[in-house]
């Protein structure tokens, strides 16, 4: 029997937060410097329209035809297919990459494992992710674990968080079915004791995946900054905005224990005003970026 609430949870957390995709766009993002919690909470996120991925798939395919050893082109092709919800094709590109990876560097091998593991978890989710048939998820988890072993600090530590969520999901089926995401923050804090690495991983999930609109991930991020009440209040403003737009925590009622009790009313008004400026800037940034991409 299907569980709608559980299904919604995994689509939100795994389908969005667990988007450990690695391609040339990711490399460009890493070169820009450290991701910021302010941008993550404000939604100033780089996102591309489907037309972008269609075109990039054409370019990657042409590169591979000219040079089958262009391993990054396979990553671009695979990620493009995944972004277009073509998981089977995305996995096929990784299989082709493996055939041509005889002299692959550690970075190439890392990207292969991280990408295919993510493609496989996405495919499992799209097929209904029956928790009694988790072989696809276990294969995906093994690949992500290999990626972490090859390069534990890549992707702003995002794979660490991804792997922790996958472990919780696969090995704690009863708890997941009964409690859904209510235990997620607690599990992450227990599993990943280094708060700084956990924060970077959560921010990475928001900046490089689709978790920028996940109330549960935002709440986990805010709780990781429990000694920074202004960030907790900023996160609460973002959560309330998402709720007003129809987004839901999978708990149906986020705890919002974000530790901002020491903030004065005057400080709240200042943060309210700053949040409005940040959100307007984020929306303008995303619109202009999309318009530019479509015009090229």
Determine the Cα–Cα distance for residues 148 and 141; give it in Å rounded to an integer: 10
| Whether the Cβ atoms of residue 161 and residue 202 lie closer than 8 Å to each other | yes
- pLDDT score of 177: 53
- Residue 30 domain flag: no
- pLDDT score of 30: 45
Mean pLDDT of 193-208: 80
- Residue 142 domain flag: yes
**Which comes out higher in pLDDT, residue 210 or 62?**
62
Look at 48-62, 143-157, 176-190, 202-216 and tell me which has the smallest mean pLDDT.
176-190
Look at 79-93, 148-162, 201-215 and tell me which has the smallest mean pLDDT.
148-162
- Residue 29 domain flag: no
> CA geometry: angle at 20 spanning 28 and 293, to 5°?
45
- Residue 66 domain flag: yes
Across all residues in the chain, what is the average pLDDT?
A: 79
Give the domain range for residue 135.
Answer: 4-22+44-295
- pLDDT score of 14: 46
- Residue 55 domain flag: yes
**Which comes out higher in pLDDT, residue 78 or 36?**
78
pTM here? 0.71
pLDDT at 6 over 50: no
Determine the Cα–Cα distance for residues 289 and 227; give it in Å rounded to an integer: 35
Neighbours of 61 (CB within 10 A): 16
> CA geometry: angle at 202 spanning 263 and 246, to 5°?
75
- Residue 36 domain flag: no
H or E element: which one contains 155? none
- Residue 87 domain flag: yes
pLDDT-based confidence at 160, cuts 50/70/90?
Answer: confident
Phi, psi of 29 (to 5 degrees): -65, -40
Q: How many domains does the chain have?
A: 1
pLDDT-based confidence at 35, cuts 50/70/90?
Answer: low
- Residue 197 domain flag: yes
- pLDDT score of 21: 63
pLDDT-based confidence at 182, cuts 50/70/90?
Answer: low
- pLDDT score of 174: 56
Mean pLDDT of 256-268: 72
Look at 14-18, 21-25, 117-121, 130-134 and tell me which has the smallest mean pLDDT.
14-18
């Amino acid at each position: 029997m299907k569980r709608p609430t559980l299904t919604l949870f995994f689509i939100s957390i795994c389908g969005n937060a667990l988007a450990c995709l690695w391609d040339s766009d990711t490399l460009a993002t890493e070169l820009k410097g450290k991701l910021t919690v302010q941008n993550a909470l404000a939604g100033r996120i780089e996102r591309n329209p489907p037309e972008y991925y269609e075109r990039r798939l054409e370019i990657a395919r042409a590169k591979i035809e000219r040079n089958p050893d262009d391993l990054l082109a396979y990553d671009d092709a695979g990620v493009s297919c995944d972004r277009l919800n073509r998981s089977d094709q995305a996995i096929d590109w990784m299989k082709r990459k493996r055939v041509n990876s005889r002299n692959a560097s550690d970075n190439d091998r890392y990207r292969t494992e991280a990408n295919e593991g993510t493609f496989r978890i996405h495919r499992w989710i799209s097929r209904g992710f029956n928790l009694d048939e988790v072989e696809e998820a276990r294969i995906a988890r093994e690949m992500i674990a290999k990626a972490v072993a090859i390069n534990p600090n890549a992707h702003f530590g995002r794979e660490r968080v991804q792997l922790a969520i996958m472990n919780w999901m696969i090995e704690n089926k009863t708890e997941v079915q009964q409690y859904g995401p209510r235990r997620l923050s607690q599990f992450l804090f227990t599993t990943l004791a280094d708060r700084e690495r956990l924060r970077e991983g959560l921010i990475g999930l928001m900046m490089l995946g689709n978790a920028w609109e996940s109330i549960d991930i935002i709440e986990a991020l805010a709780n990781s900054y429990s000694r920074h009440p202004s960030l907790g209040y900023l996160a609460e403003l973002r959560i309330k905005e998402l709720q007003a737009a129809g987004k839901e925590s999978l708990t149906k009622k986020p705890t919002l224990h974000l530790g901002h009790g020491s903030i004065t009313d005057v400080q709240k008004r200042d943060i309210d005003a700053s949040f409005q400026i940040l959100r307007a800037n984020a929306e303008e940034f995303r619109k202009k970026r999309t318009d530019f991409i479509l015009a090229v």
